[in-house]
Amino acid sequence: MKAIAVFPKSRDVQLIDADLPSIASPTQVRLEMLDVGVCGTDREICAFQYGTPPEGSDHLIIGHESLGRVVEVGADVKSVSPGDLVVPMVRRPCPHAHCTACRCDRQDFCFTGDFQERGIGGAHGFMTEFVVEEERYLNPVPEALRDVAILVEPLTIAQKALIQIWQLQERLPWGCPHRPGKNHGHCRRALVLGAGPVGLLGAMALRARDFETIVYAREEAPNEKSRVVEAIGATYASSKDVPPDQIAARFGAIDVVYEAAGASRLAFDSMQALGANSIFVFTGVPGRKEPVAVDTDLLMRNLVLRNQVILGTVNAGRDAFEAAIRDVAEFGRRWPEALRSLVSGRHAPEEYRELLLGRPTGIKHVIRFARTD
Ligand code: BGC
């Protein structure tokens, strides 16, 4: 079967002919992969900045954003049947008894770092035609979401952030007064850094909760991303028009920053926009570049005097996957065109070079593997 793999030793990316996987235990499920998303992490793996093959293998089959259809189930599988759509989770637990996170299915909070991530580190991923997976890592998806469910995994990042934002902000009187027809973020202002898929999906999640939402990115409007931002009732601002130190003056103090740009300079500069009792959530993984100067006195004064929180978050648990599946359906009801426009193109596996090594274009590109769908 076709699979897209990196060979770190020879620094090569190839479309390979991999062995068809088969079910080896009664709790396993065989999936035909329908859509596999291409993201920044995949591009970094293909540039050999990130990613590790499984032990004993000279290559790693990449791909972690995926949608599959169940084609075969082991004898003990109960929650899914052949024909069902599923989105697999990415991370697998570490083996250590003392890792309380992994021992209670919260490997997204693994203490040891010895976890595996399918398509990223230590385990083959989903950019291939068939995959075998344990039932417990699969999330069933309604058939109606067939065309957009590839957005579930990148949306889990925002869902895990939102779950934690509510938990952390519960320590203070942060909740909005009840307003009929309005969701619980209606009295808060959010700033999203970056207008890539993670940023735009995060903006949709914030808008769905009625946060006033500003998406802040480099490119000047109008562009395809600013059009999505406007369609969901958010505001697009370019850093070329509004420098980071002007954000609060232009839009008012920010309650939540959802960082989805991976640019540390921009992120730290925009911290000045944070108001009292605010929270800043980092999701990006920047490449290591030259150190940059940060006004640490100002930062620390504000953190203390304004009760601010800075949070880093990675990966996602089942709760975030389930919330993402519900939200993708909700986005489809509210903004069908904008949601569909996030998928810029569906491509044959043979186009992998342009997609993974070429200049990034559009929003979310998807590789179609399905033979039957
Ligand atoms: C994936 C996460 C993963 C992270 C770090 C992201 O692209 O969506 O599942 O934990 O990379 O490897």
Q: What is the pLDDT of residue 371?
A: 67
Residue nearest ligand 1's atom 1 by CA: 315
Give the ligand 1 atom nearest the CA of 41: 7
Strand partners, 131: 31
Q: What is the pLDDT of residue 287?
A: 84
Tokens of residue 262, six digits: 């991976």
Q: How far apart are the first and last CA of the chain?
A: 16
Residue nearest ligand 1's atom 11 by CA: 41
Pocket probe mutation, ligand 1, options 120, 153, 160, 201, max atoms within 8 Å of Cβ:
120
Measuring CA to CA, which residue among 298, 303, 244 is closest to residue 273? 244
Residue nearest ligand 1's atom 7 by CA: 41
Residue 179 alpha carbon to ligand 1 centre in Å: 36
Give the ligand 1 atom nearest the CA of 316: 9
Q: Residues 311, 282: contact at Cβ < 8 Å?
A: yes
Q: What is the pLDDT of residue 288?
A: 80
**Is the torsion defined by CA of 373, 317, 8, 199 positive or negative?**
positive
Q: Residues 127, 4: contact at Cβ < 8 Å?
A: yes
What's the pTM? 0.97
Q: What is the pLDDT of residue 206?
A: 98
The sheet with strand 60-61 has its strands ordered as: 12-17, 2-7, 60-61
Q: Where would I find the beta strands (DSSP E) of the chain? A: 2-7, 12-17, 28-38, 60-61, 65-73, 85-88, 91-92, 116-118, 122-123, 130-134, 138-141, 189-193, 212-217, 235-238, 254-259, 274-282, 309-312, 343-347, 364-368
Q: What is the mean pLDDT of residues 293-318?
A: 97
Q: Which burial class, exposed, middle or buried, applies to 187 when counting CB atoms under 10 A from its CB (0-12, 13-18, 19+)? A: middle
Length, in residues, of the chain: 373
State the residue for tokens 């359906």.
Answer: 329
Residue nearest ligand 1's atom 3 by CA: 315
pLDDT for 373 beyond 80: no
Q: What is the mean pLDDT of residues 330-344?
A: 98
State the residue for tokens 């989903």.
Answer: 126
Q: What is the pLDDT of residue 343?
A: 98
Tokens of residue 158, six digits: 């925002």
Residue 245 alpha carbon to ligand 1 centre in Å: 30
Ligand 1 neighbours, Cβ below 6 Å, are 39, 41, 64, 90-91, 117, 120, 314-315
DSSP per residue, 21-36:
P---STTEEEEEEEEE
Number of other residues whose CB lies within 10 A of the CB of residue 110 = 21
55: left (phi over 0), alpha (psi -120 to 50) or beta: beta
| pLDDT, tens digit, 9 for 90 and up, residues 236-290 | 999 999 999 999 999 999 999 999 999 999 999 999 999 999 999 999 999 888 9
Choice between 290 and 370, residue whose per-residue pLDDT is larger: 290
| pLDDT, tens digit, 9 for 90 and up, residues 42-89 | 999 999 999 999 999 999 999 999 999 999 999 999 999 999 999 999
Give the ligand 1 atom nearest the CA of 90: 9
What is the Cβ-side half-sphere exposure of residue 320, based on CA atoms within 13 angstroms? Answer: 28
Q: For residue 19, what is the DSSP state?
A: P
pLDDT for 183 beyond 70: yes
Separation between Cα atoms, residue 362 and residue 360, nearest integer Å: 7
| pLDDT, tens digit, 9 for 90 and up, residues 108-165 | 999 999 999 999 999 999 999 999 999 999 999 999 999 999 999 999 999 999 999 9
Sequence-ordered list of residues with C-beta below 8 angstroms from that of 306, at least 6 positions apart, any chain? 274, 275, 276, 277, 278
Tokens of residue 334, six digits: 């509210």
Q: Residues 125, 118: contact at Cβ < 8 Å?
A: yes
Sequence-ordered list of residues with C-beta below 8 angstroms from that of 144, at least 6 positions apart, any chain? 329, 332
Q: Residues 349, 18: contact at Cβ < 8 Å?
A: no
Confidence category of residue 370, pLDDT binned at 50, 70, 90: confident
